Amino acid sequence: MSEIITSKENPAVKHAARLLKSAKFRRQEEAFLAEGVRLCRDAAYSGVRILRMFYTEEALERYPKDVELLREKAERAFLLSQQLAGGLSATVTPQGIFCVCAMLDKTDCLDKMDASGQLLGLEDIQDPSNLGTVLRTAEALGIGGVILTRGCCDIYSPKVLRGSMGAVFRLPMALVETMPPAVNALEQKGFVTMAAVPDREAEPITQVLFSSPSIVLVGNEGNGLKPETIRACQRRVTIPMLGRAESLNASVAASLLMWEMMRASGEAAL
């Protein structure tokens, strides 16, 4: 049974709106707002705990099966007007379906990373669109997991959630305070650690065999990896570039590196 909301002063609506706008509030509440049919459905199918879901009459008419699924999964369901739905939306044309979800615990997952796969490390990535694209690509290519520093933008921000196409829910991830201790811990587990740098003197990524479990680290859009992170890694790798550009967009660089990791590790397994 759905509760009907008619006022923008409703506490549930105000709470969801704050989750949409504030990363600090999301961390405080350990919850986030997912928007749209596909993202909310992905959350439900991925086992994410859905605390509350909101939908409009228009959404019920267009997506009856999805609304029913989400009403069954959610602890509470609310019917609201299209006007109120606009206050919860981060898109130009909202579909009228929203879910307040409990955050997934990504803080103690480093020890759970598969010691037989290939990992990606992200240090202080600031652009939500970049991060969403990287996570979506990582899942698509079969990367075993992603390690992120807390200096990265919020993985539960609307742009990251949309850009990842639900990969945030499914991709193994670990949040760490800083990267060097994580690098050391992974080396102890048998991972080869590699810092990606825009340096022609570094080892071309196309010549790395990836016959062992490895992690390649990508740094901040403007500054790259921190010097202490580079020093902590066993090897330095780079993407060969024939043109005059000195570096690539962070999401493009990460995508190329991941593609080469998975291609080369697949060939090494044959």
Q: Do domains 3-102 and 110-269 have the same CATH topology?
A: no
CATH assignment of 3-102, among 3.10.20.90, 3.30.1330.30, 3.40.50.1970, 3.40.50.300? 3.30.1330.30
- The residue extents of the domains of the chain are 3-102, 110-269
Q: Report d(CA 192, CA 234) in Å as an integer.
A: 7
Model pLDDT, residue 175: 92
Percent of the chain's residues with pLDDT above 70: 96
- Domain covering 110-269, topology: Alpha/beta knot (3.40.1280)
> Is the model's pTM score more than 0.85?
yes
Q: Do the Cβ atoms of 101 and 107 come closer than 8 Å? A: no
DSSP output for 68-122: HHHHHHSSEEEEE-HHHHHTT--SSS--SEEEEEEPP--TT-GGGS-TTSEEEEE
Is the model's pLDDT at 264 over the cut of 60?
A: yes
The predicted structure's pLDDT at residue 126: 94
The predicted structure's pLDDT at residue 246: 62
What local confidence, expressed as pLDDT, does residue 269 receive?
53
Contact (Cβ atoms closer than 8 angstroms) between residue 260 and residue 218: no
Residue 270 has a pLDDT of 45
Q: Per-residue pLDDT tens for 106-152? A: 765 777 777 778 999 999 999 999 999 999 999 999 999 999 999 99
Q: Considering the chain, what percentage of its residues have pLDDT values greater than 90?
A: 76
Per-residue pLDDT tens for 33-66? 999 999 999 999 999 999 999 999 999 999 999 9
Q: Which residues pair with 192 in a beta bridge?
A: 214
Instruction: Provide the pLDDT for residue 158.
Output: 95
The mean pLDDT of 180-194, rounded to a whole number, is 94
CA 234 to chain CA centroid, nearest Å:
26
Predicted confidence (pLDDT) per residue in 195-234, tens digit: 999 888 999 999 998 888 999 999 998 889 999 999 999 9
Res. 249: pLDDT tops 70: yes
Q: Give residue-wise pLDDT tens across range 68-84.
A: 999 999 999 999 998 89
Query: From CA 228, how far away is CA 51, in angstroms rounded?
Result: 41
1 has pLDDT over 90: no
